[in-house]
Amino acid sequence: MIAAVGDTHAVLWYLFGDKRLSLTARNFFEATAIDGDQIAVSSISFVEIIYLVERQRIHIDSYEQVRRAFDLPQSLLLEIPVNAEIAESVSQVNAKQVPDMPDRIIAATAVFLKVPLISRDRKIQASTVQTLW
């Protein structure tokens, strides 16, 4: 079962043990793993991770490390492709509340799956998208 969608930074911070991940979010990731459920991750997050590597905002090996986490047997993380249904759900995420398109796509993934979004992003938290942080 998909318990939530993780935004790019939440997933990175969870995988790399970054203290910027809130205790609530960390506990949610861990409880989801214990329950044998999964956290969905939009495929747009892979694009964002490559961008962050190119901008030298995260370590050059980060992308490969993240990809390996998805390949583990019974991985906690599940990639969700950006497809027509997700694209159509973007219209349910208010562009004035969440103006950044990658953020809207990630939020739309949560809306489409009818699960909360794990995100520190204040704009998303202030929007109508159900968030957890």
Which pLDDT does position 41 carry in this prediction?
A: 98
Q: Where are the chain's structural domains?
A: 2-127
107 close to 124: Cβ distance less than 8 angstroms: yes
pLDDT in tens, 49-100: 999 999 999 999 999 999 999 999 899 999 999 999 999 999 999 999 999 9
**Would you report the helix, strand and coil content of the chain in percent, each value rounded to 5?**
50, 15, 35
pTM of the full structure: 0.94
Confidence of residue 32 (pLDDT cuts 50, 70, 90): very high
Which CATH code fits 2-127?
3.40.50.1010
